Amino acid sequence: MELKPDPGIDQRVAQAAIRDIVASYPGIRTEVVTFLGDRFSESLTGETAAVVVNVFGDDLDMLDRLGARIAAALGDVPGVVDLQYERQGATPEIVVRPRPADLAAQGVSRRDLLDTLQTAFAGLTVGQTFAGNRTIDVVVIVSAEERNRVDSISRLAVKTPFGPVPVTQLADVSPAVGRSQVRHLDGQRRVSVTFNVEGRDLQGTVADARDRIAALGSLPPGVFVRFAGEAEAERQARLEIVLFAAFALIGVVLLLFLCFKRRTYPWLVVVNLPLSLLGGIAAIGLTGIGLTLGALVGLVTVFGVSARNSILLLAHYEHLVDVEGQPWNRATALRGAAERLVPILMTALVTALGLAPLALGLGRAGYEIEAPMAIAVLGGLTSSTLLNLLVLLALAERVTHDGVPREAV
Sequence ranges of the chain with CATH classification 1.20.1640.10: 260-398
Under CATH, which architecture does the 11-88+183-230 domain have? 2-Layer Sandwich (3.30)
Under CATH, which architecture does the 260-398 domain have? Up-down Bundle (1.20)
Q: State whether the Cα torsion 369-374-375-381 is positive or negative.
A: positive
Closest of 311, 373, 391, 317 to residue 344, by C-alpha: 311
Closest of 288, 308, 330 to residue 381, by C-alpha: 308
For residue 324, with 0-12 CB atoms within 10 Å meaning exposed, 13-18 middle and 19 or more buried, which class applies?
exposed
How far, in Å, CA of 158 to CA of 286, rounded?
77
Q: Decide if pLDDT at 401 tops 60.
A: no
Note the pLDDT tens digit of each residue in 328-340: 777 888 888 888 8
Note the pLDDT tens digit of each residue in 157-193: 888 888 888 888 888 888 887 776 777 777 788 888 8
Q: In CATH, which of 3.40.50.1000, 3.90.870.10, 3.30.2090.10, 3.40.50.740 is domain 91-179? A: 3.30.2090.10
Question: pLDDT-derived band of residue 7, with 50, 70 and 90 as boundaries?
Answer: low
CB 385 within 8 A of CB 376: no
Note the pLDDT tens digit of each residue in 66-110: 888 888 888 888 888 878 787 766 678 888 889 999 888 888 888
Question: pLDDT-derived band of residue 397, with 50, 70 and 90 as boundaries?
Answer: confident
Sequence ranges of the chain with CATH classification 3.30.2090.10: 91-179
Sequence ranges of the chain with CATH classification 3.30.70.1320: 11-88+183-230
Question: pLDDT-derived band of residue 403, with 50, 70 and 90 as boundaries?
Answer: very low
**pTM of full prediction above 0.95:** no
CB 199 within 8 A of CB 287: no
